[in-house]
Amino acid sequence: MGILYDKLIADFDKVHNTNGISGERLAKRLDALSEIGLTEENGSHRPGFSDEEKAAKKLVAEWMREAGLEVREDGAGNIFGRLAGQQDNLPAIVSGSHLDTVPNGGHFDGVVGVLSALEVAEAWKQTGYQPEKPYEVAVFTDEEGSRFNGGLHGSEAVVGKGDLNEKLKQVDQDGKTFEQVLEGIGLTVDGYAAAERDADEIEMFVEAHIEQGKRLEQQGLPCGIVTGIAGPCWMEFTFTGEAGHAGNTPMTDRRDALSAAGSFVAEVPKLPGTVSDSAVATIGKLDVHPNGVNVIPGSVTLYTDIRDIYADTRDELVDKVLKLAEQIAASHDVQVEHVEKMRTPPVPIDEQKQDLLEESFRGKNIKPYKLPSGAGHDAMIIGDKWPVAMLFTRSKDGISHNPAEWSDLNDCVQTVHVLKDYLEKVQD
């Protein structure tokens, strides 16, 4: 076993090894996957549609077969391991996540969800349990999107979502088109387009994932119930004033685009709390022109990322940000233009599904704690076609997309116990 296994198992409490669930097996598999695409900084580098992602999926497919699952790969490279149900003609219950990573990312993002879903199947095999409905463990391709600056390609293919013509226009950092990238790992555009599944094949999707935040850690809880997945709206704003000499232009005679943009940056964070307690707004990128030390900035382009788990409050926040931009531009005697780059619908999770998850938490003596997901996940895409539920595993210090990303094995295994109990409940 490797370094990751030793670290995971060091503080593991074997009291959690019950009902067919094995912390050691989960640790071994986390360790094995961490070796695929391992970076010098001890991070993970498995971009979507890469040989590394393909190798990770191949390894998980082997484990699926060992667990007695029937494995297939679709035209988007998604992997599904199916356990027949007692009534195998019924729509399947599906659980899983992804194995690709951001450049030099962590070892838990996505992987915990895949291995948790697989561990449930392993536990059922060991205890002789066969679900009433068919059960599928899913591994979705390219959730992170580090290759084309836009991910979720695997889950979009399953749902039949996304403009394929637009995807074909995408080019990665190596100059390869979407079609060339697919062909590079043995896939085709026609196969990708044919990966959509019929609505009656699936009943619901359940995703376990690391939190990538600090709320569970602050509550001292191993896992929590996700209330909804925020839908992002990305806006590009350009403030245009007049470039000028930094020394010879009086302060009273300036049309400083950066001064206006700076006021905007300072005021935007005050707005989310006025619409809901789950809304957020971020300005993470600015381009200043001409960007000289002794030149008054003539134009600034910046980007806002606005999210909430409810469409009405998210859109209300978007309107407030737009109004703010106009007000600040007027007060600084500059112009402002905006372009909407993306507006993805949020996915609120049905309260009945949250309530049923709450029963599973209480049954495992874990305090139910509900929290929103600010990050996008495959469940966000799948939720456009089928009902979804989601649970989070505690993240140490809230760190993610970083080699320091960490979730304690005790927390991971307790998440599996809750997931297993919930998946058994939805068989009724």
pLDDT in tens, 388-408: 999 999 999 999 999 999 999
Burial 192-215 (b: 16+ CB within 10 A, else e): beebbbeeeebebbbbbbbbbbeb
Helix (DSSP H) and strand (DSSP E) numbers for the chain: 14, 15
Whether residue 1 has pLDDT greater than 80: no
Question: In which band, very low, low, confident or very high, does the pLDDT at 110 lie, cut at 50, 70 and 90?
Answer: very high
Whether residue 149 has pLDDT greater than 80: no
Average pLDDT estimate for 126-140: 97
Secondary structure letter of residue 218 according to DSSP: H
The per-residue pLDDT for range 342-374, each reduced to its tens digit, is 888 899 999 999 999 999 999 999 999 999 998
Whether residue 150 has pLDDT greater than 80: no
CA angle 96/221/345 to nearest 5° reads 45
What tokens does 351 get? 């309260």
Query: Is 3-230+346-425 a CATH 1.10.3720.10 domain?
Result: no
- Cβ–Cβ < 8 Å for 307, 377: no
Secondary structure letter of residue 278 according to DSSP: S
* CA-based radius of gyration for the chain: 23
Give Cα 191 distance to the centre of its chain: 24
Whether residue 117 has pLDDT greater than 90: yes
What tokens does 70 get? 């029937």
Whether residue 172 has pLDDT greater than 90: no
| pLDDT at residue 147 in the model | 80
Cα 227 to Cα 96, 321, 422, distances in angstroms: 18, 25, 16
Beta strands in 77-190 (DSSP E): 79-83, 92-98, 135-140
| CA–CA distance, 180 with 167 (Å, rounded to integer) | 12
Q: Which candidate, 102, 124, 98, places its Cα nearest to that of 112?
A: 98
The per-residue pLDDT for range 47-104, each reduced to its tens digit, is 999 999 999 999 999 999 999 999 999 999 999 999 999 999 999 999 999 999 999 9
CATH number assigned to the domain with residue range 231-343, chosen from the 4 options 3.30.70.360, 3.30.465.10, 3.40.50.11810, 2.40.50.140:
3.30.70.360
Q: Give the residue extent of every domain in the chain.
A: 3-230+346-425, 231-343
Q: Which candidate, 347, 403, 380, 315, places its Cα nearest to that of 145?
A: 380
Q: How many residues does the chain have?
A: 428
Whether residue 428 has pLDDT greater than 80: no
Q: Which candidate, 91, 61, 95, 92, places its Cα nearest to that of 79?
A: 61
pTM of the model: 0.87
Phi, psi of 157 (to 5 degrees): -65, -40
The per-residue pLDDT for range 189-228, each reduced to its tens digit, is 999 999 999 999 999 999 999 999 999 999 999 999 999 9
Three-state DSSP at 226 gives strand
| pLDDT at residue 319 in the model | 98
| CA–CA distance, 384 with 84 (Å, rounded to integer) | 25
Phi, psi of 212 (to 5 degrees): 65, 30
What tokens does 357 get? 């998850």
Secondary structure letter of residue 344 according to DSSP: P
The per-residue pLDDT for range 27-42, each reduced to its tens digit, is 999 999 999 999 999 9
Q: Which helix (H) or strand (E) holds 66?
A: helix 51-66
Question: In which band, very low, low, confident or very high, does the pLDDT at 15 lie, cut at 50, 70 and 90?
Answer: very high
What tokens does 138 get? 């899913």
| pLDDT at residue 142 in the model | 93
The per-residue pLDDT for range 275-287, each reduced to its tens digit, is 999 999 999 899 9
- Cβ–Cβ < 8 Å for 168, 189: yes
